Amino acid sequence: MPPVVPELDKRIPEATHAVHYFEYALLQRFGFILDIEAADLYPERVDVVYSYRRSTTKYSQFVHRSGVAFVQVLGKSQGFLFLTNRLMGPGRMGTTLKSKDSRPAAAADDLRNRLLQFCSDEKQLTKFYDEELALLGTTLEDPPPLSI
């Protein structure tokens, strides 16, 4: 479970969501990039429409840089949903990996196991959280008014 940080939204860079901040950082560490943001994370005044998707997205989804896997962020104690990208299978579009010996499903399974092992190791996870907290620094304050 990620640490609870009072006023986290004031310590993170502008335009960064405080919700699932540590989950996003963890996925980025493992080479995932944001694919689709959850609909409820947008401000109410923003109407998000995807031309290829009719329904709203309940969970933010990340895709691995290699394309072999997707992860949805459930958050809190529920963690992640991991999905192997079966379109990367042999004979399918997207199999232009560096080696013909590469097996996308095996690469995705290895990635899932490494992520699971990391998240199951309390010592490693605590170290990761501590490193992320150190990067955040202290609570940001509004700068004093500029006077000339």
pLDDT digits (tens, 9 = 90+) for 82-123: 999 988 766 554 445 555 556 888 999 999 999 999 999 999
Q: Which residues contact 68 (CB under 8 A, 6 or more apart)?
A: 84, 85, 88, 104, 105, 107, 108, 111
Place of tokens 């199951």: 120
CA 69 to centroid of chain Cα atoms: 12
CA 10 to centroid of chain Cα atoms: 20
pLDDT digits (tens, 9 = 90+) for 1-57: 788 888 888 888 777 777 888 999 999 999 999 998 887 776 777 776 666 666 667
Query: With bands split at pLDDT 50, 70 and 90, how would you rate the model's confidence at 146?
Result: confident
| Contacts by residues 72-79 (CB-CB < 8 Å, ≥ 24 positions apart) | 73/20, 73/23, 73/24, 73/27, 73/38, 75/19, 75/20, 75/23, 76/1, 77/1, 79/119
The amino acid at 75: G
Model pTM score: 0.76
Cβ neighbours of 91 (radius 10 Å): 5
**pLDDT confidence of residue 30:** 97
Residue 63 has pLDDT above 90, yes or no: yes
**pLDDT confidence of residue 65:** 95
